[in-house]
Chain A
């Protein structure tokens, strides 16, 4: 596919929800052994489809070659195919790119291997292969195909005419009236047959198209309800999707992602001035409950992130009307946090945090443009300007949630990018024997419980077998997220960090411009 058709393909698509909402591409930053890399995987939108992978070396390492390889989640798969060598992008000594086929629907990870002077290092980047879009037919291609079709149609009728009228005659003989008449009848009949064939072809195409549309990926259906009990307001989220509640479901079970089976985000509709990040506890595999913080009343958009044992990450989307009066809040999970007084904190490049410290967005002067690396770097300082130390919040320096004002985009980012770390763990820990559902999940859960709060702690405590856990903070008071905005428009972003045992939420607004 040429670059031109690729752009057309992207321009003509209808985007629907994927893991995350309206943001199907994968961004990852981490260490491939001794090499720090940023990996971007552009979602093909169809399965089987070709995913564009770019690998950027975050320092001018002496690198021999960069290899990429798709790994499918199913433990029954045999040895993987040979990896692809990513080509160095001309004019940029740290950028490599390759195109990988993702052949089956489901969870994959792309193994990026860097070979260089400092040795060989590899890292896994989870990615989902789901059909999320249908390509529209470019009018120019449509016109060209129509013209060729018309030529073939008329040509076929001419062939029938010649076959009946002339082909049976000895060379030189002229067709008599009977032959001419017969050829006309044959042409009329052939026109009917061909027209029927075209109608049948169109019906076939429509059937394929309809089947494809019904097969497009949609996250599980979920419903939120609110009730008051003696201790306060309780939010219940039920996954009421028959593909999940069916006891003979095909899905693998859920696994915890940094210690929680579900990360639930509430965003007050339209004004976006209230936000909560909760971790509902499971009552069963389809029902989750959390104590609701004293959010102001109104309609809220709910986004629930879950991860399957296969590494398949979903964002369930629903809404809830919060009408009950606020009551005292005893968080059902110590990692739960909320913010309701956004406007007082400021939404420019500087945001005041609840403990008096300040988070500044080092966004630079350049406009933020769709599909270009966004400078999501933040520094936390004391009011006097001194750097303020951060504590790990759920195993990492911070979390960023961003949404477009109209809700068309919602993403949950980590310093490692858009990927689910639980998905990453499943790929790192999976063994060929993990054919029984739940086996790998149980191992992962035991690991989570055993090591507790760990990972991005600067002193390297709680070292775990997965490389991303060693991902360093750039400095104990700053954090960054690799990402590029998928669509233009006005966005709000919540950045959460932990200091002094408190979870602090900063709020920023930004405009994202279309690429020119």
Chain B
């Protein structure tokens, strides 16, 4: 049975979908803000605005989706119930369930993280087991947002597809942002851009999302749009955060910052994303292995060239400007010439072998992305 034509989504965005997209955006902005907070001010409580933005993401997604599935289960029309999947006797769209799962994971990470800090000291690391659970939580909310939009896009009449496709690309941009944040220690700073590890991490992390959205979205330039959304969120955060005065609140202070430290300048993923969009347009479905191979290698080649030179520029004096927001360091940093150097280039230089590993990772990531994209293109509920 398929829906009668007049029941197809026509570009309208249901409030619970809007709420989950907003929640995903709020959480990712909160995380960027929180990292800047820890680099500029240091001391925090549960009630910092950055934490509130993160937890608002969890609460909003959990509440909106919880309400939506309860309404669908107990008071929904037959069509509404039919447009959901069953979950422990309840019914609701898959994306809503994924977002609810994410909200619970975020909730669970709270006491775990608190204990972790008491047991091992307040970590200054982005990646720790409780932070990974928190990250799984808000990543699930992002995926929930994608799935909710996908079910709309994939059932939509032609009129609505462009709106949903754009929203989908925006959601994918948030996922890219999320990956860039989690990799901040490896791929965040331009000083790392002449290491093999930088390209291995980027090769593994990004093609999967870029190709999945290129395949699943009905936009012609979906991957490019997603990369542009990531770029836009990053730039806005760089410009806005720098405007706020901030004083370090924890000793020792080695670097007396006066304003919020800007997040690192974003990766110029729009270049490889545009190349991948072109490839997807040329090759089309049905030749996914070839597309994965070409896509992975193309990603790495374009990313390498772009970032290699972009990073060189970002370490020069003209880049030390409000616009780029570079050369801003934590209050606890002991400043030195390391700021303007490429790090660990003796220990981990860019080599042919290293790039071969990075390319293999990128190809594998691209293949996974196509599988994921193909599945997403079929999501109806």
Q: Write the residues of chain A forming the contact surface with B, with a CB cutoff of 8 angstroms.
A: 1, 5, 9, 46-49, 69-72, 74, 76-82, 101-104, 108, 131, 134-135, 137-138, 141, 144-145, 148-149, 151-152, 155-156, 158-159, 162-163, 165-173, 201, 204-205, 208-209, 212
Contact = CB atoms under 8 A, between A and B. Distances in A.
Contacts of A208: 120, 128-129
B129 A149 contact: no
Nearest to A70: B251
Contact of B42 (A103, A148, A149): A103
Given A103-B122, A173-B1, 17 more contacts: A48-B124, A77-B253, A77-B254, A78-B255, A80-B251, A101-B122, A102-B251, A103-B252, A158-B87, A167-B94, A167-B147, A167-B381, A170-B2, A171-B79, A172-B2, A172-B79, A204-B129
Contacts of A155: 101, 104
Contact of A103 (B79, B251, B380): B251
Nearest to A151: B104
Contacts of A74: 252, 254
Interface string B89-124: 000001001100100110110011011001111101
A233 B2 CA distance: 100
Contacts, number: 153
A48 B116 CA distance: 12
B368 interface: no
B340 interface: no
Contact of B251 (A1, A72, A131, A134): A72
Counting chain B CB atoms within 10 Å of each CB, the highest count among A9, A78, A149, A204 belongs to A78
Interface string B244-266: 00011111111110000000000
Interface of B: 1-3, 42-43, 79, 82-83, 85-88, 94, 97-98, 101, 104-105, 107-108, 111-112, 114-115, 118-122, 124, 128-129, 132, 147, 151, 155, 247-256, 332, 334, 375, 378-381
Contacts of B250: 48, 70, 81, 101, 103
Contacts of A78: 253-256
Given A144-B111, A171-B82, A81 B121 contact: no
Contacts of B97: 158-159, 162
B253 A81 contact: yes
Given A158-B88, A162-B87, A167-B380, A145 B248 contact: no
Counting chain B CB atoms within 10 Å of each CB, the highest count among A79, A82, A162 belongs to A162
27 contacts: A77-B252, A80-B251, A80-B253, A81-B249, A81-B251, A82-B247, A101-B43, A104-B252, A134-B120, A137-B115, A141-B111, A141-B115, A145-B108, A148-B108, A152-B101, A155-B104, A159-B87, A162-B85, A166-B85, A167-B85, A167-B94, A169-B380, A170-B1, A171-B2, A171-B381, A172-B79, A201-B129
